Structure 1
Amino acid sequence: MNITFRWYGRDNDTVTLDQVKQIPGVKGIVWALHKVPVGEVWKKEDILAETEYIQSFGFHTDVVESVNVHESIKLGDKDCSRYIENYKETIRNLAEAGVKVICYNFMPIFDWTRTEMFHPLEDGSTALFYEKEKVEHLDPKDLLQTVSEASDLTLPGWEPEKMEHISDLFDAYKDVDEEQLWRNLEHFLKEILPVAEANGIKMAIHPDDPPWSIFGLPRIITGEASYERLLKISDSPSNGFTMCTGSMGANPANDMVQVARKYAGRAPFSHIRNVKIFENGDFTETSHYTQDGSIDIKGVVEELSRQNYDGYMRPDHGRHIWGEKCRPGYGLYDRALGIMYLLGLWDAYRSERKDEEIDSQT
């Protein structure tokens, strides 16, 4: 199991690589050039400056999260081709620096949505929280205000340059339904997958978060049916998934153990996190500990162990604990605890399998 840790850079994170280095088992840093405007080419010199810095701490830089897809590509508008060509050039430049996996998503306007960034939990910690009724009656501009007030740090998916034009973006999506969004994704993939495959990079699409339509915008990567449809677009080995237990698992109809069983082989990258789902459709982030949430984290890790999963894995959103002041969902302490829990499960299941193999031979 190749454990990684998401990091937002020297100027945009409260966590340092010196601190991450002290977490047992972490092999790589999941990174991105967050200052590059969405749609622009990632330059070779900027890529090398970041990867060489990260590698100086002994980490690999195999996984990028994310090379965001410009809204023109999702909309399929007149500027689509230009931004696709930029994306191809970024793929080539990242491959030259040794990158193996690119995580991306195809969510219109908002990459992820929560109504509270620091919702209080019973144990005294706080966590990201989604209130279904509030989203159904909330003006997106009010949600933007909630997010912008949550942190002094730039939050991916809520880039200021994009949010300045949010009204225009909503107008542009008025005529884009799920089928049109699927067609635009198919066009994007058929353009970039040959480049990714030729350069040894696997593209790993992240599920929508949450996995249902919000604010009248289409969402298409929401469950097993969408995985099946994506695979029909292309059988390229570069066409894969980021298996995120918390994003897809926020819909209780998605059995994440079954998803792992069927699709782990097409998921070069996995996000493991837990959420507690309430009957009214609300959900909150929790610790990674299985019993704290609604996702069978133990079962997911057991399935990955059974398959000898060799993809990259990272703990995802953690709580904010022990008074830590940090980026919403991305503090040091709870993600470190999550890593130790995942490693403990992995070691236990691997040991159990070895015992079974010995028994079968005697």
Structure 2
Amino acid sequence: MKMGFRWFGEGNDTVALSQIRQIPGVETIVWSLHDVPAGEEWPMDKILALRDEVEAAGFNIDVVESVNVHEDIKLGLPSRDRYIENYKRTIEKLGQVGVKVICYNFMPIFDWLRTDLHKEMEDGSTALFYEKARIENIDPFDLVAKINENSALTMPGWEPERLARLTSLFEAYKGVTDENLWENLRYFLNEIIPVAARHNIKMAIHPDDPPWSIFGLPRIMTSQENFRRFLKLHDSPYNGITLCSGSLGANPDNDIVAMIREFADRIPFAHIRNVRRYENGDFIESSHRTQDGSVDIAGIVKAYHDIGFAGYARPDHGRHLWGEQCRPGYGLYDRALGIMYLWGLWDAAERSAQK
């Protein structure tokens, strides 16, 4: 298992590369060009500048998260071909600088959804929280305003240029079914996977977060059955999954350990995090520790060890601890604690296997 840490870039992150360097076992910076709008080709000069900065700090740039997919591709509009060509050229450039994995998603409009970015927990820390009843009764425009208030940092999946088109996007998705989205995803994969294969890059789709429909929008990356269908859309070792235990773990019906074992050779990238589920459908993002949430993190790490997982992993969203002022879910302290917990589980599995 190769450990990574998501970093949003100089001036767009409260965490410094020098701080990440002090977390044991981290070798990969999981990165993106967050100032490039979805659908645009990534400029090579910006890629090289970030590569040089990251490598000078002692890390590699093997994993990109994310190269965002333009909404016209998801909608299957005639304009999608232009954006797909830009996507292909970006893949080619990333291959030239040694990128091994590209994480992306195919979620309509919203990449992820929460109702509270700083819900206080029993110990005084705060975390990202999803309140089911509120989602069912809130206007999405009011939620957008809430998510973006008082934020000096970009929120992945809630970029201003995308949200400025909210009214037209909801109108465009009227009548778009799950089957329409499946067909548009198939078209996209058939175009990009051969390019990724030529450049030895594994594409890794992220699950929908949360893994069910919201505001009537179609969502398809939600379950083991659907991932099975996804992998058959374009059957290639370069067509893979970013297996996110937190996103999938919000639904108690998802058996993440079973997914790891079934899709072992198609998981180039893993997000390992915990959520605490409530009977009313709410959930909050707890610490990574197994006992603190509803997801079997210990079982998940053991499953990765059992399959000989040699891909990339990172701790995902963390709580906000000790008064840290940071991008919601992406502070330093709890993600560092999470890494050490994951390494502890991994080391225990290693020692047990040697007996």
TM-score w.r.t. structure 2 length?
0.99
CA contact (8 A) 1:151 1:328 kept: no
Q: Within 1, Cα distance between the matches of 2:71 and 2:155?
A: 17
1:287-343 CA-partner distances (Å, limit 9, x unpaired): 000000000000000011111100000000000001100000000000000000000
SS in 2 for 1:174: coil
Are 2:241 and 1:241 equivalent residues in the alignment? yes
| Aligned-partner residue type, residue 148 of structure 2 | S
Secondary structure at the counterpart of residue 338 of structure 1? helix
**SS of alignment partner, residue 208 of structure 1:** coil
* Residue 333 of structure 1: aligned partner: 333
Give me the whole-angstrom Cα distance separating, in 1, the residues matched to 2:162 and 2:218. Answer: 18
1:214 maps to which residue? Answer: 214
Equivalent position of 1:259 in the other structure: 259
Map 1:155-194; keep pairs closer than 5 Å. Answer: 155-194=155-194
3-state DSSP of counterpart to 1:217: coil
Shift of 1:78: 2.0
Q: Distance in 1 between matches of 2:338 and 2:54?
A: 22
* Alignment pair present for 1:101 and 2:101: yes
Report the Cα distance in structure 2 between the residues aligned to 1:117 and 1:27, rounded to whole angstroms.
29
> In structure 1, what is the Cα distance between the partners aligned to 2:268 and 2:150?
32
Give identity over the alignment, percent. Answer: 61
1:136 aligned counterpart, secondary structure: helix
Distance change >3 Å, CA 150–CA 354, structure 1 → 2 = farther
Aligned: 1:280 with 2:304: no
Equivalent AA in structure 2 for residue 255 of structure 1: D
Structure 1, residues 259-281: CA drift from partner, whole Å, max 9, x if none?
A: 11212321100000000000000
What residue is the counterpart of 1:324 in the other structure? Answer: 324
User: Any gaps of 5 or more consecutive residues in structure 2?
Assistant: none
* Equivalent residue number for residue 80 of structure 2: 80
- Match of residue 292 from structure 2: 292
Partner Cα separation in structure 2 for residue 309 and residue 277 of structure 1: 27
CA distance in structure 2 between the aligned counterparts of 1:191 and 1:265, rounded to whole angstroms: 22
Unaligned regions of 5+ residues in structure 1, if any? 356-362
CA RMSD of aligned residues (A): 0.7
Given that residues 117 and 150 in structure 1 are in contact (C-alpha distance below 8 angstroms), is that contact kept between their aligned partners in structure 2? Answer: no
Q: List, as ranges, runs of 4+ consecutive aligned residues in structure 1 with deviation greater than 6 Å.
A: none
Distance 1:322 1:160 in 2: 30
Q: Which residue of 2 aligns with 1:8?
A: 8
Amino acid in the other structure paired with 1:9: G
Cα deviation for residue 150 of structure 1 reads 5.4
Aligned pairs for 1:9-28 within 5 A:
9-28=9-28
Contact 1:268–1:312 (CA under 8 A) maintained in structure 2:
yes
Q: Structure 1: which amino acid aligns with 2:59?
A: F
Aligned residues: 355
Which residue of structure 2 aligns with residue 201 of structure 1? 201
Matched, 1:350 2:331: no
User: Structure 2 CA distance, aligned partners of 1:149 and 1:286?
Assistant: 23
C-alpha displacement at 1:151, in angstroms? 2.3
Q: In 1, distance between residues paired with 2:275 and 2:253?
A: 14
3-state SS, counterpart of residue 173 of structure 2: helix
Shift of 1:146: 1.1
